[in-house]
Amino acid sequence: MPRSSKPGAPDRRPIVLIGPMAVGKSAIGYQLAQQLHAPFVDTDVVIVGNHGSIADIFAGRGEHAFREIEARTVASVVEEAESSATVISLGGGAVLDSGTQQLLERCTVVYLECDAETVAGRIARNSGRPLLAGDAMARWSSLFATRKPVYERLADVVLDVRHGTVAELGRRLEEALRAFAAAKQEVEN
């Protein structure tokens, strides 16, 4: 029996991880894909593969150009993943695009929820995120305050990632997705 037809198994829609910078979308997304034996795509990685580093795109062409590239990339990744349980990790700001928000209606959306304390050490070590140039923590907090309502509105499943290793959070997320799929199946039957 295919894994996804087990009662309560995650359904065959793309699983998309959203949330602020450094929350763990890429790390936990990869972990979940391993557990589900599913393909994994990180849209930031696809952008870098096709267009060069994110820092160079911001520096050379500006944020607006980056957002256009990002929206096109997310659309093609989601469309290619349609009807499969592919795990997709988005960049932190990808959800601001209205076309992307519409596409996410066809996916199971997981919002990774955290606080500034969780990401402080990770951001201090980081140098590749152009939007965090200067006072990284202040920039992160200001972006998070603006985007939090969008993350919350789009989420099917919310995972609190303030505590736990990536492996533990991957297991917790798989359980949460099974519970979500089971509840959805019950409503549909």
Ligand X SMILES: Nc1ncnc2c1ncn2[C@@H]1O[C@H](COP(=O)(O)OP(=O)(O)OP(=O)(O)O)[C@@H](O)[C@H]1O
Ligand Y SMILES: O=C(O)C1=C[C@@H](O)[C@@H](O)[C@H](O)C1
Interface positions with ligand Y (CB under 6 A): 21, 44, 54, 91-93, 129-131
* Residue whose Cβ sits closest to ligand X: 24
Rounded least distance, CB 167 to Mg ion, Å: 18
Q: How far is the CB of 17 from ligand X (least distance, A)?
A: 8
The yes or no reply on residue 129 touching ligand X (CB under 6 A) is: yes
Mark 16-55 with x for binding to Mg ion (rule: CB under 5 A) and - for no binding. Answer: ---------xx-----------------------------
Q: What are phi and psi of 119, to 5 degrees?
A: -100, -5
Side chain identity at residue 121, one-letter code:
G
The answer to the question of residue 156 lying near ligand X (CB under 6 A) is: no
Instruction: Please say whether the beta carbons of 90 and 25 come within 8 A.
Output: yes
Q: Is 22 left (phi over 0), alpha (psi -120 to 50) or beta?
A: left
Least Å distance, CB 44 to Mg ion, is 5
Q: How far is the CB of 30 from ligand X (least distance, A)?
A: 8
Q: Is 22 in the site for ligand X (CB under 6 A)?
A: yes
Q: What binding mask, one character per residue, do residues 161-180 give for ligand X by CB under 6 A, x or -? A: x--xxx--x-----------
**Residues in contact with ligand X by the rule CB under 6 A:** 19, 21-27, 44, 89, 91-92, 122, 129, 161, 164-166, 169
